[in-house]
Chain A
Amino acid sequence: MSFKNIVREMKEMKDGVGSISRRGVEGKHWRSRARSHIAPDLAAPSQPIEQGQWANLPPELLLDVIRRVEESVTSWPARTVVVFCASVCKSWRDITKEIVKPLEECGRLTFPISLKQPGPRDAPIQCFIKRDRTTSTYCLYFGLTPLAAEDQSDKLLLAAKKIRRATSTEFVISLVRDDFSRASNTYLGKLRSNFLGTKFTVYDSQPPNDAAVQHNSFLSRRFHSKRVSPRLPAYNNSAATVSYELNVLRTRGPRRMQCIMHSVPVSSIQEGGAAPTPTSFPQIIEKSSPRLVSKGKEPETYFSSPNLSPNLSSFGEPLVLRNKAPRWHEQLQCWCLNFKGRVTVASVKNFQLVAAFDPSLNIPAAEQEKVILQFGKIGKDIFTMDYCYPISAFQAFAISLSSFDTKPACE
């Protein structure tokens, strides 16, 4: 339907009257170039703006506006507006979810689920952690360092509370800093240490599922999904294990760290590999209902590479991270790591993790030396934490927390 048809109609109405000559109409080939940028119903006469009419903005137009919004707000707190757009109504939610790419692709944290997605490949996400000794809480914020103003303006990502138990220490991880209840929907998981403080297990409240591979499936997700699958109750899935070993030089040398990422396959850093990327949190289970069946959406996991098998049982070997060995600096008489300015205070807690690999695994050279997680002190109770692909903010935070539970056996 195009503009030219209206004009033709008008001309036909004027037939024989006025200055319109017939040659303008007959036999003329009206090319269909006059197709509008987005094709609204041109035949309808214009109406005054009515309530609800704006809800019927052509989707492509709405997409254009929301895309411009998304592109112009790259950092927090401005980026909240993208989250607003996703909350307005169903069509806006679908459009926003279509526009916003997972963290790995766009490099920007957008929705809370971004915290469970692998970081970008080229540049790390830079955050900092503030420790509050009085409440035993640790808060992860987005940004290079705390803003000079009050900390209310820093974007809180995750929070953890340290709980000492008889034979272990636990760090409960939540999306908010004032609620660490395991029953809350802000509970994400925990880190638990063994008695000696040499081995830690990261538990993720969101189970991996063997959902099928979906790439651009955001629009196909609807709230009233017909699939209802049983969800495991308060499932605590072991996502990673962190272990510390004494250095052979005992107390003088830096300790050795190793992380086995049970939820990230080593194939993720191979050529063409991908890491699991959840796109939503599990549906909230009605607290009052003892039933374990969840209504509506199932947690989705998708793999960004189409080549990766969707079946998690063919997960393959887990990714193993080890800390980069510092070099002994003769003149300074200390162990040194190049933190590229992000760590400024010497501390046994500081570390850089790279992938441990077997030559047979065929990891590209660029990936071999890449620092996947870096953590270190910059001031009293303030630490920086930078992470990148293939681990997520949640995993990075949990691993970093283990550094706070140092025991004499390890130092």
Chain B
Amino acid sequence: MSSPEEKTLILKSSDNEEFLVKESVAVQCITIKNLVEDGCDLDAIPLLNVDSKNLAWIIEFMEKYADSTSTDAEKKDFDTEFVKKPFNDVLGLILAANYLNFPALMDVMCDACANEMKLWSVEQVREKFHIQNDYTEEEEKAVRAENFWAFE
């Protein structure tokens, strides 16, 4: 039996694209790690909620973080560049990282999301998150009065 470090997994995205990833790298995703430990021996691991676009990014991130030669400073620089994506993609990666249970990626993406939100107004938050304002006019008035520091 080949040693675990050399084993390669095939990860299949929701749009049926297959990616080869070393097992030692892929197990940063706890979901995948559990599957491997449970003895899953499928050809390819289907990731039904992750499309190829996101999966490619996730693999890029995983490989950077699994690389023992990269320093903390390098990782930070990598993160800074990595998160420079349109906001919809940032949210997409958060959902994917959640689905795959990938803590390092979750941390980086949530922080990026938080940092962007700091620059916005209430209306912009609604727009970027595609949120329907479910307040009635009267409730909206009351909320604005209650939180008027945000509307000065």
Contacts and interface: CB of A to CB of B under 8 A. Distances in A.
Interface in B30-63: 30-31, 34-35, 37-43, 45-46, 48-51
Contacts, number: 169
Contacts of B51: 46
B150 interface: yes
Given A34-B35, A46-B14, A46-B50, A280 B146 contact: yes
Chain B: interface size category: 35 or more
A410 interface: no
A112 B113 CA distance: 25
B30 A37 contact: yes
B149 A73 contact: no
A112 B144 CA distance: 11
Interface residues of A, number: 65
B132 A65 contact: no
Interface in B115-152: 115, 117-118, 120-122, 125-126, 129-135, 139, 141-151
B110 interface: yes
Interface in A83-115: 83-90, 92-93, 111-113
B21 to A, nearest CB: 17
A256 interface: no
Contact of A6 (B46, B101, B126): B46
B103 to A, nearest CB: 8
A46 B48 contact: yes
Nearest to B150: A83
Contacts of B144: 87
Contacts of B130: 51-55
B143 to A, nearest CB: 5
Interface stretch (B1-9, B68-76, B77-85, B87-95): B87-95
Main secondary structure of the interface of A (DSSP, over half): loop
Contacts of A83: 147, 149-150
Given A34-B35, A51-B130, A84 B125 contact: yes
Nearest to B13: A46
Contact of A24 (B30, B39, B95, B147): B39
A283 interface: yes
Q: For the complex of A and B, list the 3 residue pairs with the smallest distance between their C-beta atoms, beginning with the closest.
A: A83-B150, A37-B101, A34-B34
Interface of A: 3-4, 6-7, 10-11, 18-21, 24, 28, 30-31, 33-34, 36-38, 40, 42-46, 49, 51-55, 57-58, 61, 64-65, 68-69, 72-73, 78, 80-81, 83-90, 92-93, 111-113, 175, 185-186, 223, 280-281, 283-284, 296
14 contacts: A19-B43, A20-B41, A21-B41, A36-B99, A37-B101, A42-B48, A44-B48, A52-B132, A54-B131, A65-B113, A72-B111, A84-B122, A87-B122, A111-B147
